[in-house]
Amino acid sequence: MTYAVRYYTKTGNTKRLAEAVAKELGVEAMPISTPVTEKVDILFLGNSYYAFNIDPEVRDFVASLDKELVGKLVNFGSAAMLNSTYKKVKAVAEKAGVPMDEKEFHCKGEFKGIHKGRPNDEDLKAVAEFARQYK
């Protein structure tokens, strides 16, 4: 199996989760500004809600994915207020012709003092364990 990890973050929370996923899989976590140029079986995508939606950069990244290069997309992320971005990301992925795994990882993320310290060490262990099931 081949893997890639891409993430989008404004606070650093999703980057920390992405690095834990990448370490578990033996790859490097890279921001979504780094395109996927080689074939991967699974692309792990870290993102969050911003102003009650996925960021336009995330939407554009997913829309630009080459369905010939990406076997499956796996969503993960954190947020202070809202839960999963799964449905929003899946809608864009379907238009791009990239299948999305039905499983995802989500945890609380610190924002302006809410959920202070999250994602914490337990969250990082949990996201690594989540990634391990794809090995």
Percent of the chain with pLDDT over 90: 79
CATH number of the domain to which 80 belongs:
3.40.50.360
From the list 37, 107, 106, the residue with the least C-alpha distance to 75 is 106
Evaluate if pTM is beyond 0.85: yes
Q: Rounded to whole angstroms, how far apart are CA atoms 70 and 29?
A: 16
For residue 128, give its domain range. Answer: 3-132
Q: What pLDDT does 116 receive?
A: 86
What is the average pLDDT across 47-66? Answer: 89
Starting from the edge strand earliest in sequence, which strands make up the sheet with 40-46, in order? 29-31, 3-7, 40-46, 70-79, 100-108
Q: Number of structural domains, the chain?
A: 1
